[in-house]
Amino acid sequence: MIGIGRYSKIWRIVNMHTNEKYAAKIFNSDAKENHAELIQNEVNLIKQLNSVYLVRHIEIFEDHNCFVIVMEKLNGGNLL
C-alpha cells in the first residue's frame, strides 16, 4: 500500500503484460454507497484535467464491491 485516505486506499499495481507500474485508488463498497457524490465529483474533475503538471488517470472502473481509479505512478515521495 502506498497511502491511505479518508475514503480510499492507494495501492501500487503492475500491468502483468507490459510490466508498467501504476497507482490504484480504491474506494471500498462502504465509501461507494455512502459517498457516491464525492467520488463522482472526483472522477468528473479527473476526466476534465489534462496537464503535464498533474497525475494522469489511466482507467476508471467499478464493480459491486469497489470503485477504482488507476493513475500513473509518480516516484519521488509525498507532496505534503
Domains and CATH numbers, the chain: 3-72 (3.30.200.20)
- Residue 29, C-alpha cell as written in the block: 463498497
Look at strands 21-28 and 3-4 and give their pairing.
unpaired
pTM above 0.85, yes or no: no
Mean pLDDT of 51-59: 89
How confident is the model at residue 79, as a pLDDT?
62
68 pLDDT more than 70: yes
Percentage of the residues of the chain whose pLDDT score is greater than 70: 95
User: What pLDDT score was predicted for residue 80?
Assistant: 60
Range 29-48 average pLDDT = 87
Q: Whole-angstrom Cα distance, residue 30 to residue 66?
A: 8
Q: Average the pLDDT over 61-75 and give the result.
A: 90
Looking at 1-80, list the stretches that DSSP marks H as alpha helix, in order from N- to C-terminal side. 29-34, 36-48
Phi-psi region of 61 (alpha: psi -120 to 50; beta: other; left: phi over 0): beta
